[in-house]
Every structure is written in C-alpha cells, then in structure tokens.
Amino acid sequence: MPTPSPALIRVRLDLAYDGTEYNGWATQPGLPTVQGVLEEALAMIIRRRVRTVVAGRTDAGVHARGQVVHFDLTEAEWAAVTRHRESLEPAPTLVRRLNGALSREGGAVVILRASLAPEGFDARFSALWRSYRYAIIDSSAERDPLNRRFTYWHQQELDVGLMDAEARSVLGLHDFLTFCKPRDGATTIRELQDFGFTRDHQTGLITAHLRADAFCHNMVRALVAAAVQVGEGRHPVGWVAGRLEAMVRDAQTRLAPPHALVLDHVEYPDAGSDPTALAARAEGTRARRTRP
C-alpha cells in the first residue's frame, strides 16, 4: 500500500510592507515581489518551497498594514521551527526567524503575527471584507516632503464634499466592470460596503476609505481616480454612478497612482463563536456571483 501523506496544519501570518520597491504582491520571474521575498524567507526556515495564499493581491507600489496569508506545513515542520528547543513556542519563533530572514529587505516587509489557523480558514476566501485607505494632498494643503512616497500630490484644489457624494453614490452590490481590469474566468461583481472622502482641516490631508467584500484588479485606484475627476471639476455630479451603470472600460477609466494606497485590514468570521463560520464563508465566496 502507498505511504499516506503526512497530515498538514495551516498557519496564518499577519504582515505589513512598504510596497515601493516591489512589483506587487504576486511572484513574477526576475522581478522583486512581496510574495517572492516572503516565500524565500520561508524556504530558508522550512527547508523547502512553501506556497502562500494571500487575502488580497496588491499592485506594484501599493502598501499594506494588515495583509494576511496562509500556508500549510506538516506537524513535524511546524515543531522544527523551534530548532528542537522544547522551551520555545513555534508561532513567536517563526515571527522572529522570518523577520531575521527578511532583514535583508531593510525593514520593508515585517511579520506581525503567526498562529495556527482555525479549522476551515482560508486567507483569501474566508475573508468577510477588506479595507483600504488612499492619501491625497491637493494644492490648497501643506505638502510634507517626508510623506511624498505615500501621498498623491494633486496639482488642483479638490472639492472633498463632491468627491464624498460621488463615492457614496456607488455603494452596494454592483458589477464594477467599468472600474476593474477583468481576469479570465473571474467576476467583477462586488459589494462596496463603504467608500468616502474626508479632509483633515489641520493638515489638509484628504483620505479616501474603502471597504468591500473583495476588490477586483485596479478597482480601488479606478474608483478613487473617478471621484477625483469630479472633485477637480472635470466631470459633473453623478458622473461616477453613470460610469458604473454604463459598464464600459475605456480611456475614461483612469487609475490613481499606486504609491498612496494602503491595504489596512482584512476581517474574518469569529471562529470562536461558530466553528463552521470560516469554512462556510470560504464555500460561499467561491460560488461565482451573478449580476444583481
């Protein structure tokens, strides 16, 4: 009889990164990516290639404060993280060793936490929602050169009230084809749960905040860019909602620069109150949605 495969356990990692020098999250041959450097660090510790699954793939130049990944190890590999020192726990030891391996990145990628994932956990499909922030300074605000790598410097003064109204006009479950770069076999239907703009009256900083059950490729940057075009007076009130309804991706679909975008948080069901919630959420998310 064939030898049975060893039982696998799932590990969750929470991490943050400055995406400036990376060509996005996903591994690409010959290019520096966040997934690439993370999996290299894991391979140094586990002694084999470890495939990671991420909650939300970020574009080139985009940052994260609350990214989540999972990967599977054998029980022996998990125990060996401590280098057979029984006084140590694998989870904090893995954080320390990974951050040591990632020190070559100059602090751009930091592991925040590691833990054994609850039953049914999937970093991508179990997520209830993801939230992003986008930072803008317009011509009426004071520009801080120390924040220029993480803030979009817009040359015209923006009407934040108009931008906020445009943002809220597209909340809900819609087909966001206009604002997405479609992937083969993937749907562009999403539930946009929160989208708005605020201005800090002391610093002048404009912040866009977005939350959705999931975001398709380019969706955040395209939505922000559309609202900015109304805020600068390029298009009339109601233009963003009209574009959404038109469901056409053309030259008017622009992208805000990536360097001002941050993945803030990924939320999951509480497995403590319902042990089946994570698996049920993953199963429901995998079901292809249709136009409402």
Annotated active-site positions, please?
59
* Beta bridge partners of residue 10, listed in sequence order: 72
Give CA–CA dist 253/251, Å, rounded: 5
The tokens for 134 are: 């986008």
Task: Give, in degrees to the nearest 5, the angle at Cα 68 between 64 and 70.
Answer: 145
* Beta bridge partners of residue 290, listed in sequence order: none
CA pseudo-torsion sign 271, 276, 282, 285: negative
Q: Is the distance from CB of 227 to CB of 244 less than 8 angstroms?
A: no
Say which amino acid occupies 194: D
DSSP per residue, 56-95: SPPPTT-EEEEEEEEEEEEHHHHHHTTTT-TTS-HHHHHH
The tokens for 231 are: 């805020």
Looking up tokens 């993945």 gives 263
Give CA–CA dist 79/60, Å, rounded: 35
Looking up tokens 């990628």 gives 109
CA distances from 48 to 45, 68, 83, 115, 144 (A): 8, 21, 15, 20, 44
Give CA–CA dist 164/240, Å, rounded: 11
* Beta bridge partners of residue 15, listed in sequence order: 67, 111
Furthest C-alpha separation in the chain: 74
Say which amino acid occupies 211: R
Give CA–CA dist 80/100, Å, rounded: 17
